Amino acid sequence: MTSTRARISKAVIPAAGLGTRFLPATKATPKEMLPVVDKPAIQYVVEEAVAAGLSDVLMITGRNKRPLEDHFDRNYELEETLTRKGDDSRLARVRESSDLATMHYVRQGDPRGLGHAVLCAEPHVGDQPFAVLLGDDLIDPRDPLLSRMIAVQEQYGGSVVALMEVDPASIHLYGSAAIEATGEEGVVRVTDLVEKPEAAQAPSCYAVIGRYVLDSVVFETLKKTRPGRGGEIQLTDALRELAHRDDKGGLVHGVVFNGRRYDTGDRADYLRAIVRLACERDDLGPDFRAWLRSYVNEEMQE
Ligand code: UTP
């Protein structure tokens, strides 16, 4: 890393998708606002960015954006009521989300794909590398990933994606990466990317998951990227182009993630996230685990 290179400080969170897999819950509410135990999924994502040192957060919003903005804003009426009641612990919980980060918002007029959502961040990001965290992808707070990705970007330059080995039967749900070893444990060079391939066409079972650290050259590439799979402008297609280049801003590396990750836009994974995170909570965990144990025992007897 050269001493003149600025430290990555900005996080971009695309949250403008339609969330059709979760209808009708997402008819009038963004899927990122669905609660995981007692916090909306998006708050975990912003907390993760802040924990990795990124306190400047740009959220890409779409229709139904109000709840997202309101959640990270002050709610004076509620705060006043809790203050009057002397309910300090709930007051602290209400203030947590508004004190978390410096939040910015930009609207993606039409949901024309993840690549198009990322392009909406260009005026805010400028020419520095930046992180992208998908608003519906929850990385368990006990398994840090983003700080490692930032370190890898600072070491190698270019862009960095997060990769997770998945069952071949599931690779069609993700971008799939062709990889080469770098000699460094858990870090690979990405030589090709294919968005949502059939298992037989997938270059590997390494799936791209929702964390990226990108060189700002990606904006120029996205402007030239034609609609791909599903008629959407795909971030994977722009990264594929960068993976084939090794000039300035090119090169893509992958950090292999073995931790816990939940797609909160998927109903079954959303339920798994709630159960796992609730079990680990000091306040709810002991009672909830005891109930879960007896529930599972009853189910096994049937
Ligand atoms: P998904 O592929 O999960 O799409 O987007 P979706 O529309 O949100 O959800 P489903 O599949 O219809 O249920 C991946 C991420 O990219 C964002 C989404 O908000 C999500 O964080 N996204 C997607 C945008 O911000 N804009 C888009 O145009 C598309």
Residue 32 pLDDT > 70, yes or no?
A: yes
Q: Which of 138, 135, 97 is nearest to 117 (CA)?
A: 135
Structure tokens at 297: 């025992």
- The Å distance, Cα 265 to ligand 1 centre, comes to 9
For 159-176, what is the mean pLDDT? 96
Q: Residue 60 CA: which ligand 1 atom is closest?
A: 25
- For the cut 50, the answer to whether the pLDDT of residue 2 exceeds it is no
Residue 105 C-alpha from the chain's centroid: 16
pLDDT in tens, 135-160: 999 998 888 899 999 999 999 999 99
H helices of 72-171, in order, are 76-85, 88-99, 114-119, 122-125, 146-156
**Better-scored residue on pLDDT, 284 or 5:** 284
What's the pLDDT at 49? 97
Mutate which of 22, 48, 57, 114 for ligand 1 pocket (most atoms within 8 A of beta carbon): 114
Residue 205, pLDDT score = 96
Mean pLDDT of all residues in 84-98: 95
* Average pLDDT for 157-185: 95
Mean pLDDT of the chain: 93
Distance, CA 18 to ligand 1 centroid (Å)? 6
Model pTM? Answer: 0.94
Give the pLDDT confidence of 45-62 residue by residue, as tens digits.
999 999 999 999 999 999
Report the nearest atom of ligand 1 relative to the CA of 266.
Answer: 13
**Ligand 1 near 172 CB (within 6 A):** no
> What percent of the chain clears pLDDT 90, i.e. is strictly above it?
88
Fold adopted by 10-265: Spore Coat Polysaccharide Biosynthesis Protein SpsA; Chain A (3.90.550)
Q: With 0-12 CB in 10 A as exposed, 13-18 as middle and 19+ as buried, what is 245?
A: middle
- Helix, strand, or coil here: 198? coil
CB 145 within 8 A of CB 54: no
Nearest to 69, CA basis, from 57, 81, 80, 78? 57
CA trace torsion 188, 1, 210, 180 (10° rounding): -10
Q: Which of 58, 68, 136, when mutated, tests ligand 1's pocket best, judged by the most ligand atoms within 8 Å of its CB?
A: 136
Q: Report pLDDT digits (tens) over 207-266.
A: 999 999 999 999 999 999 999 888 999 999 999 999 998 777 789 999 999 999 999 999
Distance CA 46, CA 48 (A): 5
| pLDDT for the residue numbered 63 | 81
What are the residue ranges spanned by the domains of the chain?
10-265
Pocket lining: 195 vs ligand 1, CB cutoff 6 Å = no
141 vs 285, residue with greater confidence: 285
Residue 3's pLDDT band, with cuts at 50, 70 and 90, is very low
